[in-house]
Structure 1
Amino acid sequence: MHCAQTVVETCTKHGDLLDMFCVDCEENICITCVQQNHRSHDWNRKNKILDRLKSELADQCHLVRQKEIPSLQTEIQKIKRLKSDNEKEFAEEIEKISSHTEAAVMSLHKLSKDLVRHCELLKSLNEENLEEKKKEIETIVFQFECSLKGFEEEIKTSNLSELLQIKKKMISIPHPKNLNKEETTLQHINFTAGEIKENLLRSILGKVDQTSRSVTVSKLLDAKIGIKRFKYISPISQTHAWCREFRSSENVLIDITKGSKEMTCSFGEYQSAPIPEDIITLKNGDNIYTWHAGHCVMKISPSKLKDAETVDIKVTKLVDISPLFPVGICAPSDNRFLVSAIDTPAIKRDSFTKDQPQKSVVILLTEKGKIKKKFQYQNDNKTPLFIYPYRIAENTNGDICVIDLSGTNNGHLVVLSSSGRLKFQYRGTGPNKADFDPRGICCDSAGHILLGDCNNRRVHLLNEKGSFLTYLIKTDEELWSMSLFSTTLWIGGENGFVYVYHYQLNDP
């Protein structure tokens, strides 16, 4: 019997035993390799690395079994319920279509019966006229027959003188009046068929759309407030909103009851003053905005914006996030803010690729400007979440909804959970999907996400899962900014146009 000998590997560089393992480099190493090249790496003796990996994998399996699988099973049950709801909704809609079609057919039958009754009436009138004329002629014939019969009897026994008298009587008998031809002409019945048009029948029967049954909009205002496209539009009430045009130093307050500017606040010269990139108004009246060129988030007290037509305002610095440049901002509540930021200045449309940011983040701030959390990478902690996070909102689920620009004329939606986990992305829909260019975003109290598609000039309505529901609004203008305040939807367009809609959430 021969015993197998264990082969002991040694390092070809140093001659030491290869009894260590570097997890970062995924290679066997010796103690000298550790000291020279792997000190800052994740390394240890092979048996310890083996035990640790076994433990980690066991923990991961346990985590998947205890958390991930039940979560997925819950989703399966949810899908089953949705399938059942879908079947029920389908059956209900089919019943509605059948009932409506039956009602339309019954209406056609009623109209058909009315036409037949009208024909029967005309037929009856013809019959009455003809019968009356027939009786009239029969009376005349009877009178002729009686007169002729009397004359014929007299002729048989009359002499010459009497026959001459009979002849005179026959000549003197009144002849019946000539019958009017029109009175004995049949009045013809003529049916003229209506034209059967498919589009008319479709309009009668209705149509089937995949659309949201819970949202309706109606236009309140369509007014030209400025001359350029709007950088942002930020409502402070259902009737008033701040807005600023691109490359303007003026913050304009719009009053939709008047359809015009109510107040103008000047921020000074374009390059040097703390001009807003994006602005929000809190419930307490404070205005918070991102000063892109100054690397800061700024604050304006509401008392600075009253009792004047033009106000030179003073602002205070809430937080400096240098070296990052802040872009979009939203306020899930009065005590915290979400700010998107990049590591390069605002990108020009003609040099997006050359000046593309290398670092793009979303930052969670406290009301005092303290940074609580940053969201930068996807679930693998390596892949960036964003290229250029332009505008930001939070829905009722606590999800962070970010417009990410991926080119000069296109972008997509990135949605994160409150912990920063990537939930889904939306890249548009329909034949013009490649031109999807979201610029405005807001969320309603039902969890819907609204996206203003600049290139395609329409508002996309999504549910909280990211599924497309409908094009809520279609316009002739590019949509550059959007915001929702209670039941008022504000949209800033091209060439200084502002659109305001009443936004109604209906009961399901």
Structure 2
Amino acid sequence: MESLANPDPPESAQEHIQMCEKHFLRKDITCDDCDEFICKQCAKTDHVDHDWTTISTDASIRRRDLKMTLKKNTEVRQKTSDLENKKKQGINLVTFLEQKHSTMSDYSFLDNLRDFPKLMPDIDCDIGQADSFQYEDKPIDVIEAVNEDRCFAKKCNADPENKCMKFDTLSTSGSVSTSFTVSTDPLTPVGICKSKEGELLVTLSDIETETYQPDSHSRRLVRHVTLTGDVIREYEYQEDGQTRLFIQPYKVKQNGNADICVINRTHDDTSELVVLSFSGKLKSAYRGQKPK
């Protein structure tokens, strides 16, 4: 767009309007395609196929749009301010109830609790990507948080003969250091997770016997180990000491009740969820429903 003779904002509505140097007419039209001011003759010739309108009409439309934008921005700022205030009130109320609820009278407790449901929905956690980095070139099989700043990760290993687990410690800055190695020889580790106590739960299998037809020589189990590899407990058989818990234990997790949840693969395309108590008692085996 051509600049006006005076680059400063005009002080009145009587500012000078430029003249077209080609046709010696007032530039009272704005061409949107070229983003410049033109005269009526330019609009009929050089800009005949362009999208243009008079300066007064364009200014009127843009003033209207600006007012709407400013109004929306004001409303957004007000809503943001209201949400922040409600969030602060909710946090203050939670803190107050945590500290005082056990010593408050029933009347005072219920009176303070009235606003609790109204404020709690607005106390949300802001979730977003804080940072990211490249971790070598192999997929990550397991990643577990150690604290707010660090986690340990185990890379996928395509070699079934490798009977150990090597863990690296990752920081939020992307630095990588080898943390520890746990040997599982003669068994091959498949799945792993961090236990509630900060140790490890590992699913282990032998590779010498049939995958889905274990025999008396097969080993299919979950092992609870320390970070140095010391065995705490093994989960392989039910309470009778003879009935196997697993055909091919795959993934393992520990729920909030400290139960050990294992995906037990029974075939290439079928699995079941086996839930054990922390003491090793079989609580349930969920096989789902066959699709109709």
Higher Rg? 1
TM interval, shorter chain, is 0.3 to 0.5
Whose helix proportion is higher, 1 or 2?
A: 1
For normalisation by structure 2, the TM-score amounts to 0.47
For normalisation by structure 1, the TM-score amounts to 0.29
- The answer to which structure, 1 or 2, has the higher relative contact order (CA under 8 A, 6+ apart) is 1
